[in-house]
Chains A and B, each alone.
Chain A
Amino acid sequence: MERYKLLKNEATADIAFIAYGKTLNELFKNIAIAVSNVMVLNVKRKGNRKISFKLHSENLDYLVVDFINKIIFYKDYKNILITDAEVEIDKKLNLKCNATGEGLERLKSNFLADVKAATLHDLAVKNEKGLIRCKIVLDV
């Protein structure tokens, strides 16, 4: 199973992708990896910075947006790009995340794009034959 797929023919000014997971926890982990790779690709990760946070949202779509916006927040506030994340989501949509990341300065020569925000544009979390998929458009 691929973690995510970038979409060529969507989001003219920005970047769209579909993330996959067998579970919600895995889907969110793969979303974190996809967002990281949209910003910085082809760099060996050390994963030496640790970040933990909790979130709660009204519904699953909003939880996806809030989760990505949290990744973006740490990028601007702490200058850390989250590159991997262990995520636990309970039935009430409480999310716990233990993430690893990299200091931005080390990644500078591999930057591709700065993500401003996650959007709700065409966002949909779907469960198809046991595989959860979510299409996301990022404003860059």
Chain B
Amino acid sequence: MEAQEIRNSLKEVDKNTWESKKVGNVPIKAYANQNLLRRMEDEVFKQAANAASLPGILKYSYLFSDAHIGYGVPVGWAGAFDLKEGIISPGAIGFDINCGMRLIKTNLTLKEVKPKIKELVDMLFKMVPAGVGSNSPQMLTDLKTLTKSDLKEIAEEGVDWAIRKGYATKKDKERIEERGRVESADFSKVSEDAFKRGKQQLGTLGSGNHYLEIQVINKDFNKEIANSLDLDVMKEQVVIMFHTGSRGFGHQIASDYIKKFLEYSSKNGINLKDRQLAYAPFNSEEGQDYFKAMSCGINFAFVNRQIINYQIREAFKSIFKRSEKDLGLDVVYDVSHNTAKIEEYTVENKKMNVVIHRKGATRSFGPGNKELKGVLKRTGQPVIVGGSMETGSYLCIGTKKAEEESFGTTLHGSGRTMSRVAARSAINPGKLLESMKAKEIYVKANSITGLTEEGGSAYKDINEVVDSMDKAGISLKVLSLRPIGNIKG
């Protein structure tokens, strides 16, 4: 079926939910308002249809309001697969395994931070390596000489390793998806090349759309939940948000297994609709090997974000000359948006484990979910939605409806509308810096030209994208956050 035909077959369920005809094994379910849906590229629907044809896919091939073209499947997509009949595919997870977001609160107000913002951002830029490769003199000494045995521990233990080494607290762990560790990790399934690419990149931000931001709470939409998470708009409270993943370690795991799965397809006569969507049955030896290696990528990314978290705490203590406790530098939450994990759902009135692939899509568990502990059991799971560096970001909360409808999944960001090459010529670096200055956002970047690729006009309107998911009831708005300082690789 052609992309246009699939698009035309979408029927309105409500103003923010659409369903297509069956395309392959299941229909497409798209969460977006009419405007966002109209602006999605045709290829998004073609890719979602290719995913709908994969063996063992359950219920729907899901698109979220931030969806745009990806490789294999769109970014802003999810699909759940039966453990026995289904598959696993690196193209449906992404190269940057466990790319994700972390939000940290502070007890500081805008009034306290604003006079020191330049000093703070410059210090963070020194302490958190960013950019191509990212191996740099400012990296923590302990992490410069990681051996294979160190990397095995990191990849298999996740944040528990960081706790042992003094980079994390037990309290941090409680506020990380999967509590910072997936047990399915097996380092013996990771290649030598992945080790070599990853060993110098722990605690680094990377480049592209990865960033570290100092933000201030802009507006609240649910005061009760915000306050339960120790966040308060009235105080003009300052928070820290950052976006990064498993760096070269995860990228290499994805590349290695796409190659292996192409060989598997060729050997087993699988006719792929898109080579980037190469797959193996989840229960095959090849499928299990990838699941175990990819799980190492998930744990590496959790530790990567934890090391950056450690450096942020050090920078704040140094600039504000106050203790960590006094500064209140607690993790609000850490979410993954490029993963495949086994989760339990009710499908056709039957409880079953599925392998849920999320590519540019965030877990969105509602109140009472058995995975959530403490206050989160009451509020639901925080969903962190990163926007462009000009327009701000959101903190949302997961819902029961998401668990019932979309395998507990929602959007991950604002979604791009303009290619990086187009942004380089469409966005003037000088004007972008002027605009950021006018908005009182202090930016520190390795490259100003690289910065233009991330200008606000290269992205969809985050307010509309988040609002659409809120109205669909899949993730609800809690706070909007606006940047006051930004670090780009």
Report which A residues bind B (CB closer than 8 A): 6-16, 39-41, 58, 61-62, 66, 69, 72-73, 75-77, 79, 81, 104-105, 107-114, 116-117, 119-121, 123, 137, 139-140
Q: Nearest 4 A-B pairs (CB), nearest first?
A: A76-B248, A114-B207, A76-B197, A116-B251
Note all chain A residues with C-beta closer than 8 A to B171. Answer: none
Does the CB pair B200–A112 fall under 8 Å? Answer: no
The residue in B134, B255, B418 that gathers the most chain A C-beta atoms within 10 A of its C-beta is B255
Does the CB pair A116–B95 fall under 8 Å? Answer: yes
Please give the distance in Å from A105's CB to the nearest CB on chain B.
7
Q: Which of chain A's residues has its CB closest to B426's CB?
A: A8
Picked from B134, B136, B200, B420, the residue with its CB within 8 Å of the CB of A140 is: B420
Bound state CA distance, A77 and B197, in angstroms? 5
Chain B: residues with Cβ within 8 Å of the partner, total of 54
How many A-B pairs have beta carbons closer than 8 Å: the answer is 136
Note all chain B residues with C-beta closer than 8 A to A61. Answer: 275
Does the CB pair A16–B207 fall under 8 Å? Answer: no
Note all chain B residues with C-beta closer than 8 A to A15. Answer: 419-421
Picked from A6, A58, A110, A113, the residue with its CB within 8 Å of the CB of B207 is: A113
Note all chain B residues with C-beta closer than 8 A to A123. Answer: 275
Picked from A6, A58, A111, the residue with its CB within 8 Å of the CB of B450 is: A111
Does the CB pair A109–B446 fall under 8 Å? Answer: yes
Among B11-19, B63-71, B396-404, the stretch in contact with A? B63-71
Bound state CA distance, A117 and B248, in angstroms? 9
Interface: B375 (CB within 8 A) = no
Does the CB pair A114–B447 fall under 8 Å? Answer: no
Bound state CA distance, A10 and B251, in angstroms? 22
Picked from B70, B132, B419, the residue with its CB within 8 Å of the CB of A40 is: B132
Report which B residues bind A (CB closer than 8 A): 41, 68-72, 75, 95-96, 131-136, 193, 196-198, 200-201, 206-209, 247-248, 251-252, 254-255, 258-259, 262-263, 266, 274-276, 416-422, 424-425, 446-447, 449-450, 453, 489
Does the CB pair A113–B420 fall under 8 Å? Answer: yes
Does the CB pair A9–B489 fall under 8 Å? Answer: no
Q: Which of chain B's residues has its CB closest to A105's CB?
A: B136
Bound state CA distance, A75 and B134, in angstroms? 10
Does the CB pair A9–B422 fall under 8 Å? Answer: yes
Please give the distance in Å from B141's CB to the nearest CB on chain A.
17
Picked from B69, B207, B424, B425, the residue with its CB within 8 Å of the CB of A11 is: B69
Please give the distance in Å from A31's CB to the nearest CB on chain B.
16
Bound state CA distance, A123 and B209, in angstroms? 24
Does the CB pair A111–B420 fall under 8 Å? Answer: no
Picked from B69, B70, B489, the residue with its CB within 8 Å of the CB of A111 is: B489
Note all chain A residues with C-beta closer than 8 A to B198. Answer: 76
Please give the distance in Å from A64's CB to the nearest CB on chain B.
12
Bound state CA distance, A14 and B70, in angstroms? 9
Bound state CA distance, A119 and B96, in angstroms? 13
CB-CB under 8 A for A111 and B254, given A13-B70, A62-B262, A73-B197: no
Picked from B131, B200, B255, the residue with its CB within 8 Å of the CB of A114 is: B131
* 5 A–B pairs (Cβ distance < 8 Å), ordered by A: A40-B132, A61-B275, A120-B276, A139-B71, A139-B251
Q: Which of chain A's residues has its CB closest to B75's CB?
A: A13
Please give the distance in Å from B26's CB to the nearest CB on chain A.
23
Please give the distance in Å from B55's CB to the nearest CB on chain A.
20
Does the CB pair A76–B446 fall under 8 Å? Answer: no
Picked from A10, A66, A69, A104, the residue with its CB within 8 Å of the CB of B132 is: A104
Q: Which of chain B's residues has its CB closest to A40's CB?
A: B132
Does the CB pair A104–B135 fall under 8 Å? Answer: yes
Please give the distance in Å from B427's CB to the nearest CB on chain A.
13
Note all chain B residues with C-beta closer than 8 A to A40. Answer: 132
